[in-house]
A and B are shown apart, each in its own frame.
Chain A
Amino acid sequence: MTMHFLLLFSRQGKLRLQKWFTPVPEREKKKIVRDMTTMVLGRKPRSCNFLHWKDLKIVYKKYASLYFCCGLDAEENELLALEVLHRYVELLDKYFGNVCELDIIFNFEKAYFILDEFLLGGEVQETSKQVLSRSIEASDMLQEVSVIPRSR
């Protein structure tokens, strides 16, 4: 699932998370975010979750007040992309307990950490929810220690 970018934004178009898997100039990033927000927010309520934009497939899904939107290569499996987005939401939900938009606003760095354990370079790196949650827990624990243990 080669993702080019993953964006989270609210119903008012406020960006909550942006992950870019290809090098994009800052201005271009802003333009893409604007385009995505306009396109996705402008969709009719019962449309399908797939769009075309330039040479990319855009897959998006609304969870409560947040839109999860990703850009994929044209040959990618859109239905699987929906599963990837869903898995990310499940991971957030497990971590925060009934996650809502506010959790992601106030703990955006944690949302990034979880994403970075799930996707790497635009591809899925771990398919087990439990393994992933355990890694995050262990990393969080490591933050409590003042200096990271050196011994092997």
Chain B
Amino acid sequence: MPAPIRLRELIRTIRTARTQAEEREMIQKECAAIRSSFREEDNTYRCRNVAKLLYMHMLGYPAHFGQLECLKLIASQKFTDKRIGYLGAMLLLDERQDVHLLMTNCIKNDLNHSTQYVQGLALCTLGCMGSSEMCRDLAGEVEKLLKTSNSYLRKKAALCAVHVIRKVPELMEMFLPATKNLLSEKNHGVLHTSVVLLTEMCERSPDMLLHFRKVWLLVPQLVRILKNLIMSGYSPEHDVSGISDPFLQVRILRLLRILGRSDDDSSEAMNDILAQVATNTETSKNVGNAILYETVLTIMDIKSESGLRVLAINILGRFLLNNDKNIRYVALTSLLKTVQTDHNAVQRHRSTIVDCLKDLDVSIKRRAMELSFALVNGNNIRGMMKELLYFLDSCDPEFKADCASGVFLAAEKYAPSKRWHIDTIMRVLTTAGSYVRDDSVPNLIQLITNSVEMHAYTVQRLYKALLDDISQQPLVQVSSWCIGEYGDLLVSGQCEEEEPIQVTEDEVLDVLEGLLVSNLSTPVTRGYSLTAIMKLSTRFSSVNRIKKVVSIYGSSIDVELQQRAVEYNALFKKYDHMRSALLERMPIMEKTASNGPTEIVQTNGETEPSVPDTKLPPLITQPANQANDLLDLLGGNDVVPVIQTTLPTKPASAGGELLDLLGDLSLSGGPAPAPSVPISQPPFLLDGLSSQPLFNDISAAIPPMTAYNKNGLKIEFTFERANPNPNIAVITIHATNTTEADMTEFVFQAAVPKTFQLQLLSPSSNIVPALNQGSVTQVIRVLNPQKQQLRMRVKLTYTHKGSPVQDLAEVNNFPPQSWQ
């Protein structure tokens, strides 16, 4: 049989194939030849054949029949054979294969071989893909090699040990003695792999970590090694663009991070070296920035002093200005992680971050957007919103939904005025209207309803937007709803904020009817329009036209539309006396305090409305107790309000009949979500904006107040009305600490005048972390049946820097809405 063709020859031949079929043919032919050669147990050419097989395997062809041949090669005494054999094993014989374990004996022998390169092959293979059983069998050999003085073998044994520990964590202990002396090596390879091994051990075992910290005093050792690295002169062996062994530097920094985490002493011991690396590393090339990046990550993760933290954030700020987009990307990712804990420091770089919104790279834009939303606050809302809206206009569709949601959330939290808020919403709806999330529509409707003085302005603007474009469904839905509600303001030209437009009732009805017939309108939108048209029957005088429209849709194919039209028809015919009551202006809706998915607020139409009045401004018109039943008549996708009503003044008969009419329909509130704070945001936005606990100050009316601010301890009160009893004020205290040391054993006590009753729930913790890294929250419930002015005396006790502190204070500046 002629000698099998050489590897390079085969490669050359296969590359001449012009089609996939031709290639397959060549390969099949060669595989057949190789198979028969294997059958003949040919030792001379086995190596060549397996190499060819590996090449074909890379092209995607099956090579499993070569597995056993790899084992034979490994057992051979020729180095060439062993090299190819181990390579084949690593490519074809992972732990999923049955014959994998057959390697164990060979590897064991080779680990004890006289030639270090053979030992190296065995260590490499074991360390790359050894199974748990194999690791268990051979751990002893690896441990032996860890103690050798041969640095070539020692470094490989260290990484092999890492693999063994990953596969069989229980074996970690046995490597401990051998690891002890590793750091005294001068050889960089051994040093590097030792640091990797120590890192793996620390990450897996907190006990080991403590042991290294306290008994081995690892931190000073590492600091010394790192210092020598930096201070030592040029070393050609390890130099990369003027920096000495960056790989080792980064690994040491990483291990320091793990050791310094939540440990004051260790963190202090590494402060100097971190500052040194941060200030002295050359930043012109990627390698220097890689080290700086790792340094910043370490500084932010350990208990570093504030000066160092500011230094770290400034480094990130400089990164943002770097021409290299990789570095900008990395800076944005890191800033996003630190924006909660070091908010003020990150704010200083706000303008640079906003500039990154205009970057060409998609990943950078996304991170800049997330970070921008995290940085929005009451002071910068106008400027930031301008930038973010501009971004919304021009960004890719994949960003628009998240950006729109972010804008809504930020606007709701920080809007400087109602008009600005509504303008912002309009801008979003008109520019990114089709990308807005579904739950925005009810939220926006609620917002508009509650901005009483802006109704005329809002409906006018929405009407004008509709004239321009009816394709964006959320915009169309909100507009139809508003026109239905405030159409009378529209035609009477009452707008104060801007030039009132002249529009007739017929024109308005034209627009709404246009929505009903347009191909662009979804069924939901059609529902909105029909209801809006119906509502206008009590606001406009052209009732006949409306009656006609309604009756036409009584035979619509769309079941939802049909049902609505039939019911509205019934209103015209049999229940006309109730029509005006039913279609009245919506009252102000109370936002429900929900921390989870939006709740459906159940209102039971049958009982007498005992819901007491609240602090909300008086309703526009007389609400009927039947307003509860508005739920069902206008149900479906419309907003479900929590109706605040006064005691019934209508004659009982009308109410009774209405209740009977609706008695068949379910009164469970339907599928519509109650207006509430939009919580269903994608996680990344929540991360950025949840710097306060979720027990937020929901009631738009009651602002939070600072109750105490002394010696670095600041206590803020946020308010909420308890549902259903509004005599109870629910106050949440947020205690934060701007000093450098934690305040431990923190206890907050409060006393109120005799006419009140106080209930203090348990605090979130009794440690107020330093440097505003977190807060202690506690809920106070105050019952105030006599509606007297709320006053409180507070007593604070805590331990700060070892000494106990106690303070008494009076809190008198409660906002009136909290107790009226």
Contact = CB atoms under 8 A, between A and B. Distances in A.
B371 interface: no
Interface in B52-95: 54-55, 58-60, 77-80, 83-84, 87, 90-91, 94-95
A121 B90 CA distance: 11
A143 B83 CA distance: 9
B391 interface: no
Contact of A121 (B77, B162, B245, B246): B162
B250 A80 contact: yes
Contact of A83 (B78, B129, B196, B287): B287
B129 A23 contact: yes
Interface stretch (B216-224, B289-297, B379-387, B679-687): B289-297
Given A46-B360, A48-B364, A123 B329 contact: no
A5 to B, nearest CB: 11
A148 interface: yes
A146 interface: yes
Given A77-B290, A79-B290, A124 B325 contact: no
A141 to B, nearest CB: 9
B250 A125 contact: no
Interface residue SS majority, chain A: mixed
A44 B330 CA distance: 19
A124 B54 CA distance: 25
Nearest to B54: A109
B193 interface: yes
A12 interface: no
B159 A120 contact: yes
B123 A83 contact: no
Nearest to B189: A126
B697 to A, nearest CB: 35
B124 interface: yes
Contacts of B78: 146-148
B327 interface: yes
B247 A83 contact: yes
A99 interface: no
Nearest to B87: A112
Interface in A102-152: 105-106, 108-109, 112-113, 116-117, 120-121, 123-131, 135, 138-139, 142-143, 145-152
B325 A121 contact: no
B327 A79 contact: yes
Contacts of A113: 83, 87
A88 interface: no
Contacts of A125: 155-156, 159, 189, 192-193
Nearest to B289: A79
Contacts of B248: 127
15 contacts: A21-B128, A48-B326, A48-B328, A48-B363, A50-B329, A77-B250, A77-B254, A83-B290, A112-B87, A123-B159, A125-B192, A127-B188, A147-B77, A149-B115, A152-B114
Interface of A: 1, 15-18, 20-21, 23-25, 30, 44, 46-51, 77-80, 82-84, 87, 105-106, 108-109, 112-113, 116-117, 120-121, 123-131, 135, 138-139, 142-143, 145-152
Given A46-B360, A109-B83, 15 more contacts: A20-B94, A46-B325, A47-B325, A48-B329, A48-B363, A48-B364, A77-B293, A80-B247, A82-B286, A83-B247, A125-B156, A126-B188, A127-B248, A135-B117, A147-B78
